[in-house]
Amino acid sequence: MPNQRLVAVAGICLVCLVGCAVKVKSAFEKTAQGSEPAARLVGSAHRMFLLFYNRTFFTAPISVDKYHADDANTEWLLLPGPHVVHAIYGRQFLFMLGGAFFMMRRPALPSEISFTANPGRKYRIDSELRETRQNVQELCVRIVDEDSQRVLEGVSQCKVVSRPSPTQTPAPTVPVEP
């Protein structure tokens, strides 16, 4: 009897392992691939794990050119040449308070970036949220060449994603005459 349970648990673990493997999606028709090796594009994640607090910032490509990602997509194959990548920047926090875990997920911020892929290279889309002025945040997105760890020239862009609301801007004080 214990051997049957062990086999069942091992089988379930094997199915989960196969199901959680890296999923690669092509951003081209199967007939369009020539003899040149394809380029690869992956997202990025920055994590911090502490005993009672975990934080993850991630950038995930959700579409390349006219091809959309499915839920299991983690890597893209690209033909050499120009591409338009739509990505999201996500933030999620997990913390423990009073013996219970809570999760807070911030709304995803969309972005779009264009770049030219070279054959046989691996690229990573990366982004960060910067506060350039008080209460003004910019989302900066860039494409990094994984082989050289350098940001591609001319393929970095920033856009303002939040501004101070009118209630946050202090009104000038005007003296009142009695």
**Strands 122-133 and 39-42: what pairing?**
parallel
- Residue 96: pLDDT band (50, 70, 90) is confident
The residues, any chain, with a CB within 8 Å of residue 164's CB and separated by 6 or more, are: 134, 135, 136
Average pLDDT over residues 144-158: 84
For 85, the 3-state DSSP assignment is strand
Least confident of 70-74, 76-80, 164-168: 164-168
The residues spanned by each domain of the chain are 21-162
Q: Looking at residue 123, what is its pLDDT?
A: 92
Q: Report DSSP state, residue 65.
A: T
Average pLDDT over residues 33-44: 75
Note the pLDDT tens digit of each residue in 7-20: 666 666 555 444 44
* 162, 168 Cβ separation under 8 angstroms: no
112 compared with 6, residue with greater pLDDT: 112
Kindly tell me if the per-residue pLDDT of 164 is higher than 70. no
**Strands 100-117 and 136-145: what pairing?**
unpaired
Name the percent of the chain lying above pLDDT 90: 6
Q: Report DSSP state, residue 167.
A: T
**Strands 53-64 and 23-26: what pairing?**
unpaired
Q: Report DSSP state, residue 171.
A: P
Q: Looking at residue 31, what is its pLDDT?
A: 43
Dist CA 50 CA 133 (whole Å): 29
Q: Report DSSP state, residue 6.
A: H
Q: Looking at residue 149, what is its pLDDT?
A: 87
Q: Looking at residue 168, what is its pLDDT?
A: 53
Average pLDDT over residues 95-109: 83
Note the pLDDT tens digit of each residue in 120-148: 899 999 988 888 788 788 888 999 998 88
Name the percent of the chain lying above pLDDT 70: 70
